[in-house]
Amino acid sequence: MQQEVVLAMLAKEPTHGYELRARLKQALGPVGEELNAGQIYVTLTRLEKAGLVTARPTAGVQERPDRKVYELTAAGQQRVAEWLAEVSWPRPDLTEFHLKLIAAAAARLGDPLAIVDAQRRELLRRLRDAQRAAMAESATSDAALLLEGIVLRLQADLRWLEACERTWTTRRSQS
Amino acid sequence: MTALLSARGLCKEYGKGDALVRAVDDVDLDVAVGETVAIMGPSGCGKSTLLHLLGGLDRPTRGEIELAGSRVGQLGERALARLRRDAVGFVFQAFHLMDELTAAENVELPALLAGRSPRAARRRALELLDRTGLADRARFLPSALSGGQRQRVAIARALANDPAIVLADEPTGNLDSAATLDVLRLFDDLHRAGQTLVIVTHDSRIAATADRLISMRDGEFTDETRLTGGTAGSLGKLAGLEG
């Protein structure tokens, strides 16, 4: 489980471990089915050691990890903000980007549409580079085929960004 | 930087009262000579309507357009038609070629309508077909050409009167991957030759060839970025070769 994802899910408000898991499950649906509680608690413990979250037990309840309330420290807040602003395309990991939008909206840390725009700029620059290279190849070169593959993949990613844009535009106008 | 095309406070409204739709909502735009600008957005965002306004195919509800030194709003229908014919080349998604005319006849038509001699018009048409890689298809009817070839004929036609600006509406919308690449190459050649181009599209491939990319949502410009300069990283990385 990526640490930033867990941090970002905490950004909205301090939360119990089980609530955190519920938020992730809601955001991910069937994709998050394999997510087990253990992974989340391991990540939370690491984050605590790194000084990015603090944990306090709920009053009157015996000390169990799922009964602790986790909260971001200032350093944790900072890390989330950096993560939201990063535009490195998470190659196979669409989930990370998806959670970025959800976390940004839930915690009011950023505008999901601005994150989509920043990502699109980055992908379009890559597409431009790949396409320039493709245009320079003759149609029969071996490299042309590989470049076409890169171009098509980037296009697929950009189409998904369009879908992200549509959904978050609708959500914004409804809220 | 001289603006060849500029728009200020451009609005296009349809309907009234509760049913009022602002297809284009207070848009400002400057396009410099020799620049390629792509306007991108989901279908229904108003980008085609905007292109029609910019090319004088439709009149705005409010706002000003200056194109190649003419204030479009002050022109009567005739003068506007002349400006369109002389200064603007249009390229559409569905090609809009005349089915009963050959490729060469389609390309020479705008020059004939502009009063050029049949000989000069034909010579120009053959030059343009050569430039678009279709010299050997000059006598073919559109029905005998592939989609990509038809679009290249349409682009050649758009260039017949040496327009100051080419406006293209989803030029790759009906094309497969290989034909798209041919059209991209052609636009790239035009760009290198100094042609000013405005392309509205939701095809990210063609948008990525522009100098400047504008995103449009609900009739408004929401993001603008320069794609030239700087590089996003190595191609090897994109192909999964490293890191």
Q: CA of B213: which chain A residue's CA is closest?
A: A121
Interface probe with B: pick from A117, A124, A140, most Cβ of B within 10 Å: A124
Question: Chain A window 134-173: which residues touch B at a Cβ cutoff of 8 Å?
Answer: 134-135, 139, 146-152, 154-155, 158-159, 162, 165-166, 169
Q: What is the pLDDT of residue A96?
A: 85
Whether residues A100 and A136 share a domain: the answer is no
Put simply, whether B76 touches A (Cβ < 8 Å) is no
Q: CATH no. for residue B19? A: 3.40.50.300
Question: Among A89, A110, A131, which residue terminates a domain?
Answer: A110
Select the residue from B175, B181, B182, B218 to test the A interface by mutation, using most A Cβ atoms within 10 A.
B181
Residue type, A48: E
Does the pLDDT of residue B104 top 80, yes or no? Answer: yes
Domain count along chain B? 1
What one-character DSSP code corresponds to residue A111? -
pLDDT at B92 over 80: yes
Tokens encoding A41: 């608690």
Tens digit of each residue's pLDDT (9 = 90 or more) over B45-69: 899 999 999 999 999 999 999 999 9
- Based on the fold, state whether residues A16 and A102 are members of the same structural domain: yes
Q: In what order do the strands lie in the sheet with B70-71?
A: B21-32, B3-14, B62-67, B70-71
Range of the domain at B134: 3-230
Is B216 an 8 Å CB contact of chain A?
no
- Domain membership flag for residue B101: yes
> Same structural domain for residues A106 and A117?
no
User: Which of 38-77 (A) contact B at CB < 8 A?
Assistant: none
How far is the alpha carbon of B160 from chain A, nearest alpha carbon, in Å? 25
Contacts of residue A78, Cβ cutoff 8 Å, sequence gap at least 6: none
pLDDT beyond 90 at A171? no
Number of domain units in chain A: 2
pTM, rounded to two decimals: 0.79
pLDDT band at B243 (very low <50, low <70, confident <90, very high): very low
Q: Is residue B242 one of the residues assigned to a domain? A: no
**In a shared domain, residues A130 and A95:** no
Give the pLDDT score at B236: 65
Query: Do A147 and A71 belong together in one domain?
Result: no
Closest chain A residue by Cα to residue B181: A135
Phi then psi dihedrals of residue B128, to 5 deg: -70, -35
- Beta bridge mates, B14: B21
Residue range of the domain that includes A41: 1-110
- Model ipTM? 0.75
Domain end residue (candidates: A79, A110, A141): A110
A118 in the same domain as A102: no
Q: What is the pLDDT of residue B241?
A: 56
Kindly state the average pLDDT of the residues A6-25.
86
Q: Which of B181, B218, B232 sits opposite A125 (nearest CB)?
A: B232
Tell me the per-residue pLDDT of A55-94, one tens digit each, with 9 for 90 and over: 887 766 555 656 789 999 999 999 998 888 887 655 557 8
